[in-house]
Structure 1
Amino acid sequence: MQDADFRRWWASHDVALRTGGTKLLHPPVAGDLTLDWEILTSATDPDQQLMVMTAEPGSPSHQAMSFFTSWTEATRSEASGRPS
Structure 2
Amino acid sequence: MSNQNLQGRISEESAHLNCFLFGESISALQGTEPVAIVGANPRINGFLVRVSNGKRVWYPTAEIAVDEDSRSLLEAAMEKAKDVIGSES
So what's the TM-score if we normalise by structure 1? 0.23
- Higher relative contact order (Cα pairs below 8 Å, separated by 6+ residues): 2
